[in-house]
Structure 1
Amino acid sequence: MAHVNLSALQTLLRALRGRNYRLYCAGQGISLVGTWMQQVAMSWLVYRMTGSAYLLGVVGFASRAPTFLLAPFAGVLADRWNRHHLLMLTQALAMLQAALLAAAVLYGVIQVWHIVVLCLLLGAITALEIPARQTLVVELVDREHLGNAIALNSSMVHISQLIGPAVAGMLVASVGEGVCFILNGASYLAVLLALAAMRLPPSPHLKSPRRRVLQELRDGVTYSFGFRPIRNLLLLIALLSLVGTPYSVLLPVFAKELLHGDAHTFGFMMTAGAGGALAGTAYLASRKSVLGHPGLIVVSGVSFALGIGAFALSTNIVLSLASLTLAGFGIMTLAATSNTVLQTILEEDKRGRVMSLYATAWMVFPFGSYLVGVLADLIGPRWTILLGAACCLVGTFLFGRYLPRMRAQVHTIYLKMGIIKDPA
């Protein structure tokens, strides 16, 4: 039995056999805890200062709108520049942003417009960071371990989401938001040290011929939307980002006004979603093959929609946490599965651009955040989230209608790449 358990654990963590990927996970894991602490503390700070769901939406918009606008160009840079060095630069800049936010809070001069400006700055930094990080992971592991590495990377995000919001809730309630921002700034040292310790061979994509930035961007868009499996994935993600995932913007409203809780309640709600997401990553990491991933995208989309729909209707904290757990499982499984499918079927010299469009699809979120803030004031938070859940169900159904053809196209690519063997 012990041998079986050890074998299962080795399968679950097989991507960690690589030294560079172990360093990446160690540094990124610590930094992500700080990131979640800052996100929770910032949302609570804005709502405490203003009591406005609308301004929560504005701040959510400001933190992600620059990423939406700049990520496609950042993808071109990720295909041109050294991704390792680019990631180090972004982490240093993010540490500076956290330090500025902490100073403004601790000196008692913070205003909402300060938060908006600093969120815009962080969004621009994130635009550079996302394609560099997404594409660097491929260079840190063997191709056969890519799906496992992406699942473990997602599990890191959600383990940190389990820890960060809970710690932030306690710190905000006891000593205030400023300490959370200080700890987030300090956490970037871990990822910078880990990146500096890596030993990486020259990147093959740096040898590709270069053209004008706009021409390379156009080539990436044409390639992505000209191939139906990539196009359908990007469109589904964009829909869920616009009408589904912005439910998180309204969590402070549900915690305080509808469930009559406080910062601890808000932290527990964030943690519940992370718990479901972590269960999803554990399941995906345990899978030995990428076969069956397209079908999982449909299942996870339905799970997410049902989860946020049930949360919107709930008046009980236990049911609310259970619903958020289901939603977290669904959206994480969809994100990691779609990421794995994309990373295994796209062409290497266009990886940065395709993954930047993938990031852009997720970054439709700020527009959804703004829309959610407006709708919550007009029709109430419950109906706003229910409407989003219904749209997610419809979108997932439309994606599912194309699923048999997508499976056939992806199967053909997997055969050419040697991921699966031809039965003949």
Structure 2
Amino acid sequence: MAKTGSWPERGVVVAEGGGATAVWGECKGSGAKPYLAAVHLDGPQGPGYKCSCPSRKIPCKHVLALLSLWSQEAVDEREDRPEWVATWLSGRAARAERAATGTVAAPADPKKAAATLKAREDAVTAGIEELRVWLHDQVDTGLAEVPRLGYRHWDRMAKRLVDAKAPGAASLVTRLPQRGGDEHWPDRLLERLGMLHLLVDGYLAREGADERTLAVLRSRVGISTRTEEILGSGERVRDTWRVLGYRDALTPDGMRSRRTWLHGIDTDRPALSLTFARPDQTPDSPFRAGTEVEGELVFHPDGRRAVKAGSMTERPAARPAGGTVDQALDAHARALADDPWLEGWPVVVADAVPAQDGGWYVADAGGSALPLDTGSLWRFLAITGGRPTTVAAEWSPKTGLSLMTLWDDDGKAIAL
């Protein structure tokens, strides 16, 4: 990657008084178009990075390779620079000036935004069409050869989807299971191939979908919406939002993510706050478990993810009422009807106790139970001593019930 041959176009932007201001380059990728990478070395808000690759790693491998070449003096000063470099640098300068003066950014040009989205969808469509052919090939070939296939078999298709600007679909391909000693691997593989096929069919037939379904399909293939756009045009909902808890995880590309779940007391509406950080950092926590915040949330088009709009009033929250295991499963089923690729769903179970029957479970007062993700099992047992309590958790049939928060005998929230 850090080879001059991989960067046919590269250069250093020099300030009027001398000294490097930015370094940029165009890296050959596996696709027809190169990856565009740049580093703002002395920006007013500190160094900044840009790359057209879909990786969420900050900085990505292309940026690091470019910096490596620059440190080896393999990138020369150039007076000329591509338009994309000039546009990016001027945009950073404008944002820094707005931040210093407290001014608000002008709304995006609707026509330009629509044209940009159309170009992105055209690229994604080509990748999804190729994925459909590939899926048919997997079924036609059969599963007998799968145990002998290496990771390259799956990675080749994933990389093609990345080049087609469909990182969400690429992530689903990389999660296709290997055999790995699991006797149920054929069932798991067929299930995930089926979910991919559903995404392909749904996305290619998106013209007839309603706005919410279209937003879900775009999100699942990897077409994201910037926070600035959400704040400018998203659905605003004012309520008192109870913070149920959060879960930390690693993304397929090595980033750390934090999924914080909230519930509107008046609107009875769930909301997901999603933040990311580098592998060596902790994601931001805009909300604290066991509290409630009063104010506005702005929802993404999928109606699930949300960001806060302005300041919010925070105060301690009372213990939530909770429900039964059956009610939790009903809520999850309704959510799956809107988004079949859902990773998890927030549930609150009242009078929950740990139970063991060949594995660990969380049971309600009626005896219905859900399998427990044992990551927080010992804290659960130590805090409750096996006594009934109210728990907030994220439920997934694949991983089980992942506890986020429980309330002790005094009604105090304890984040797990």
- Per the normalisation by structure 2, the TM-score is 0.24
Structure of higher RCO (CA pairs closer than 8 Å, 6+ residues apart)? 1
Q: Higher helix proportion, which one?
A: 1
- Higher strand proportion: 2
Q: TM-score, normalised by structure 1?
A: 0.24
